[in-house]
Structures are given as C-alpha cells and as structure tokens.
Amino acid sequence: MRINRELIIVLALLLNTSSLIGKAQRKNDKPNIVFILVDDLGWADLGYNGSLYHETPNIDKLASEGMVFTDAYAACPVCSPSRAAIMSGKYPARLNLTDYIPGNRHWGPHKDQKLASHPFKLQLDLEEYTIAEALKSAGYKTMFAGKWHAGEEEKYYPQFQGFDINIGGNKTGHPAGGYFSPYKNPQLTDGYEGEYLTDRLADELINFMKQNKENPFFAYLSFYTVHLPMQGKPEKVKKYQDKLASMNYSGEAFSKEGKTWYKNHQNRPHYAAMVESMDENVGRVLQSLKEMGIDKNTIVVFTSDNGGMSTSNQTGNIPTSNWPLRAGKGYLYEGGIREPLIISWPGKVKAGSVCSTPVTGTDYYPTLLDLAGLDLLPAQHQDGISLKPLLEEKIMEERPVFWHYPHYSGGLGGRPSGAVRLGGYKLIEFYEDMHVELYDVKNDISEENDLSEKYPDKTKELKALLYSWRTEVNAQMPFENPHYQK
C-alpha cells in the first residue's frame, strides 16, 4: 500500500511536536511561584476584609479562589525587618535587623525618648541563604521587581541574594522620583511620560513570566505602593473624590492620644486610587497566568509587609484607617502587624477556604519549599514552619509567635515593645516601664480590654515565653537614653 509522502511528513512533525511538549511539561514539573508583597497595605484596606471605600475586585476574587488567612502577621511592624524575615525565614531579632533601614542611627535618640537602641544591621547578610537562592538552586528562574529596602550597599541588592533579575530593587524605602516616570531609580529605566510605577512593575513581571513559562519560576512582585507619597492616577483620584462626597461617615475623622493622631475611617482619594491601581495590576498578573495556560501550576501568595499607616503627629499625611484593628504601622497592636494573606493554587488549595491559625512572615520560606516538593532547610528558616498542612485544611499544633521592636517609630507614635501570641491571647510588653497588656484577640480584635490583671496566670505564662524567646534569639534590648529630658 502506497503511503502519501506528505502525510508521513505531517505525522512526523506531529510526533516531534508532541515529544517537545512532553519535554516542556517535564521541564516544568515544579509549580511556578508568584509572590506579591504590597508596601504598607493595611489588613482593612481590602474589600474582602470589609473596606467600604477602597475597591479591590481582583484581590477579592483571588480570596474567593484560594485560602484566606484571617490571623496572618508580619514579622515586624515596619518594613525592612519584615522583608528580611520573608527572605531568610528568621525572626528580625535573630538577624539583628529590627528597624527600617537606616532607622534613626544617623541622628541618634531624641531627647524626649526615654530609651536608646543598640546598633542593628543595615542589611540582610549575604551569609543568609534566601528563599530565592534555595529555589534557584532547585532549577527555578528567579526575578525581583520593585522595593527591596534590605541593604544600604549595592552588594546586598536582590541580584546578589538569589535573583537572576532585579528591576527596581535597591536601598530606598519609597519611590525616589514618585509614582510617575521619571523614577530616579538606578535599577529601573524611565518609562514614557506619565507612566505609572505600579503598572510598570507588573509589566516587567508579566514579561518575565512569558519568557520563562516553560521553566519553573519564582516571580517576586514587591510593589512600592501603597507607601507614601500619596500619588494616584488623576482619573482615579477624581472617582474617589466623588465617591467620598456620597458617603456618610459618622464620628470624627481623627482622634488623638498624647501627641499622636489616629485616623478613624478611610477617606483619602489619592490613597484609594493607589489601592485600586495595585488591585488592577494584581488582576493583570493573574489574567496573564491564565492566558499562558499556567495558572493551574502556579502558587500565588498575596500579602503586605506591615500594617497600614494610620497614625502620625500630624493629620495631613495619614493614608488610611485600620479599624477595627487598633493603631497601625510602627505598633505591636493588631493594626501594626496583622496582614492580609491569600494563598492560591488552583486544584491544590480549596477555593474559598479560610484559616484562622496564626501564621507569620517567617513561614513563607519553608511553605514554598514544601509546596514545591523540595527538601526543607531547618537550619536556615529556623523560625518558620510549613503551612502546607493548613493549606490542606488539617489542624496544626499550636505554637507561639513573637515580635521584638526595640525602637520608636518616629512620627507614627509607636514605642519600644515586644509581644507574643499563643492561641487567642496576645501579650505586649512596653520597654519604657516594662508594663504588660494582655488581649484576647480572638474575641476582642480591637484590643479594647486589657486582661493582664484579670488573668494573671495567662499573663505570667506568656511573659515567660517572651523572655525565654528573647534569650534564645539574642534579642538586643534598648537601654536608658543618656540625653533623655523629661
């Protein structure tokens, strides 16, 4: 029987293509990872957590498609330590990186501050084996886009901490040139006139994913937004100005404790516009994964580095309110450390699932290794645990979560303190006079009722845990400020 020559060629091409596809699939047998970190985003800034002013449909949809962690925490109430904890899997106190970089070391403690803090590191040390290095060694392509703020010198930038590509990451904690090009960022070329930084970073990440869709990749999108300065797109600012005019807030916009103003509700059009632009770009990233056909093989983590900025010594620059959480960035009350957290992996993590177990920033490192089927590195991520059982809706043994912030949070009003949470209870110790406060944060999310005197045994138990932990991690305690003037 004669076989058509053209048919043989077509069949051969089809078989060869099928073989190539099979190889590509085997090459990408590990899940991709997209880690989205938003700067200064408060727990209450999102629609799924109850915001009535900000609009976040894409993040709300992601929440419905993955697992929402209601009691997720940053490892520190300010940015640099929190970011270092995510990268290293270690508590900031263990790293001796406990304040934002560079902190106030260049001008020393103020005369009205009772305590002074010991020097802390101005970088995440290169000796730390980061999550990016671990994934890169396992065959992942790695890319960082956005805010780094974990090292003063260039040798500590993302490209030297496990990332193949660094776009925009350096020592700065906010966009030097603002949110519209030109950016004044040596690690990011300027875009067209009027280009918006949040859009640009998502563009870069999407291009990276397209170029590496046949390889497992670790894409870390670290938005500079919603950190100050408040600069939204004009058309969105107008939208939220109009929306604000139609809202009927009850009560005063601000309250005051001592010299510090607290914002009571969300009403900043520029900030709301920034939140919406961030949400749109999260949506673009998720849509791109679907269009590339790799969404079902991609783990998406969405979170923030500390609480929303809701306090200040002046009212004009407070971006948001964290209500019903107490206080905000720079505090160890819930508003300063409780974060939005969503983890999504279609077909692996149940859509619409909710977890109320307390988790913290040191947990991402072992969790991502575990989900990727890689060996854990307990000597490195020694302060984190894998959340894989929780993502499988299993019950995990209760464990304490700790914080150590021996600094004043500048104009925000926060004071040196430490904290521990175990189960539903959280104890905060304030280092100026070493008094403690105890809260049942399961039933008193606003931390209105101090239970330290009512439950002396629980107070004693948690205080002992906190003291033991501080010794174990060699936490540096503040000392009397010799320049202090009452």
Q: Are 169 and 161 in contact (CB under 8 A)?
A: no
Q: Which two tokens stand for residue 86?
A: 């995510």
Is residue 456 in a domain? Answer: no
Q: What is the pLDDT of residue 250?
A: 83
pLDDT (tens digit per residue) in 226-251: 999 999 999 999 999 999 999 988 88
* Contacting residues for 128 by C-beta, under 8 A, at least 6 apart: 87, 88, 90, 95, 161, 380
- Confidence (pLDDT) at 28: 57
With cut-offs at 50, 70 and 90, classify the pLDDT of residue 16. very low
State the average pLDDT over residues 209-224.
Answer: 97
Query: What average pLDDT score do residues 272-295 get?
Result: 98
Give CA–CA dist 486/482, Å, rounded: 12
- Report residue 25's pLDDT band, with 50, 70 and 90 as the boundaries: very low
Asked if residue 291 is part of any domain, the answer here is yes
Q: Which residues contact 347 (CB under 8 A, 6 or more apart)?
A: 296
What's the pLDDT at 108? Answer: 60
| pLDDT higher than 90, residue 110 | no
Rounded-to-integer distance, Cα 164 and Cα 132, Å? 9
191: in domain: yes
SS3 274: helix
User: What CATH number does the domain containing 308 carry?
Assistant: 3.40.720.10
Identify which of 107, 80, 78 has the alpha carbon closest to the alpha carbon of residue 309. 78
**pLDDT of amino acid 41:** 98
| Model confidence at 14: pLDDT above 60 | no
Q: Judge whether 387 lies within some domain.
A: yes
Q: What is the mean pLDDT of residues 49-56?
A: 98
pLDDT of 24 > 70? The answer is: no
CA angle 274–326–246, rounded 5-degree value: 45
Strands (E), 203-340: 217-222, 254-257, 260-263, 298-304, 311-312, 338-339
* pLDDT bucket at 126, cuts 50 / 70 / 90: very high
The domain containing residue 79 runs over which residues?
30-395
Identify whether 198 is part of a domain: yes
For residue 310, being part of any structural domain is answered with: yes
Least confident of 14-28, 311-325, 462-476: 14-28
Residue 219 lies inside a defined structural domain of this protein: yes
In a domain, 453, yes or no: no
Average pLDDT over residues 290-310: 98
In the chain, the number of structural domains is 1
The structure's pTM equals 0.94
